[in-house]
Homo-oligomer: A and B are copies of this chain.
Amino acid sequence: MGSVHVQTMSKQYEVRIDTGLRHQVGALLKELLQPVSSVLIVTDSNVAPFYLKDVIQSFDESAVVYDYVIESGEASKSFSVYEQLLTKALEVGLDRKSAVIALGGGVVGDLAGFVAATYMRGIRFVQMPTTLLAHDSSVGGKVAINHRLGKNMVGSFHQPEAVLYDTDCLMSLPEEEWKSGFAEVIKHGFIRDEAFLKQLEKEWTSFKTISVERLNDMLARSISVKADVVSEDEQEHGIRAHLNFGHTLGHAIEAQLGYGKITHGEAVAIGMLFALRLSEEMLNVNFHIEQYENWFLQLGYRTKIPASLNRERLLQTMSKDKKVEAGTIRMVLLKRLGEATIVNIPPEKIRVLLDERMEGAHG
């Protein structure tokens, strides 16, 4: 069993990583949340059939436990589902001593977390991540819903009381979702932990043959990186921005392909390789990118920008500004493996490398 401690200005909490935790939730929360008047478990339509019953049954008879199952998918991070959840909370009578449990991936965590952040001006919540990606999203307290004009545009910072990561749950996760989450693991190596990165390269060449020990170790280490960054900078005034490594292009690819057409992590993987190349150009370093590209390919990632995408529109999204030429684009680059930095980059530099990293281009 692993455990990572998170210490922010506003709260400190444990991330527990172990198999079978879902059977112990009731007992664990009895300790962690005393007193708790009632809990509302929020989960989604894919996760509920597998694990909801186990979590409910982990509470003893005296506990007051409600649940609410949302449709799986990004579309549930909406105003209307947010409002539905608040209505549910009011109908069952959650009060200031109640808690919300988010049982699911990043969608459930972000949505249920925002409900907890704003119900009666904030009640406690507990993250129970069930995807690999959620090892990242469940730690750090960023919660949000989407607006049609932008993803994660409405939200708060609201740290959980605890993160209970039952790694059994990952066994039912589709390969696609392993790939998506693992990109964030690699990211944590790139930006802050070179030794971890090397270890990942050696040990993780497939998602099919993983021992539970290795998985739990990997998660503890990856979460430690996230926890460190968040501890230093809870509200993203500085270093927390390093977590955006690979995300400037990654987000642009997701947005232009249309959300759901490519997983978040796969887009980030393409973005990280791009950022490595850009680091070479801007910071006078050599990362032997072919080696990472081969590893990514072995794990099943796409490594180039889909040919259907338009360079100028990507640039537009990356710059977040209508007048691209006017300014520079701020991106997270690597000074060396394990050390990130933020650099302002002229659009012309980016154009050249976008061309280079397009599918079908010579590179």
Contact = CB atoms under 8 A, between A and B. Distances in A.
Query: How many copies of this chain are found per oligomer?
Result: 2
A256 interface: no
Contact of A91 (B79, B117, B149): B149
A79 B86 CA distance: 11
B87 A147 contact: yes
Interface in A111-145: 117-122, 142, 144
B122 A157 contact: yes
A117 B153 contact: no
A307 interface: no
A100 to B, nearest CB: 14
Contacts of A154: 86, 118-120
A156 interface: yes
A309 interface: no
Interface core residue of A117, A118, A122 (most chain B CB under 10 Å): A118
A156 B142 CA distance: 15
A90 interface: yes
Contact of A153 (B119, B142, B150): B119
A79 B115 CA distance: 13
Given A79-B83, A90-B150, A119-B154, 11 more contacts: A79-B79, A87-B149, A90-B149, A119-B153, A120-B153, A121-B142, A121-B155, A121-B156, A121-B157, A121-B235, A122-B235
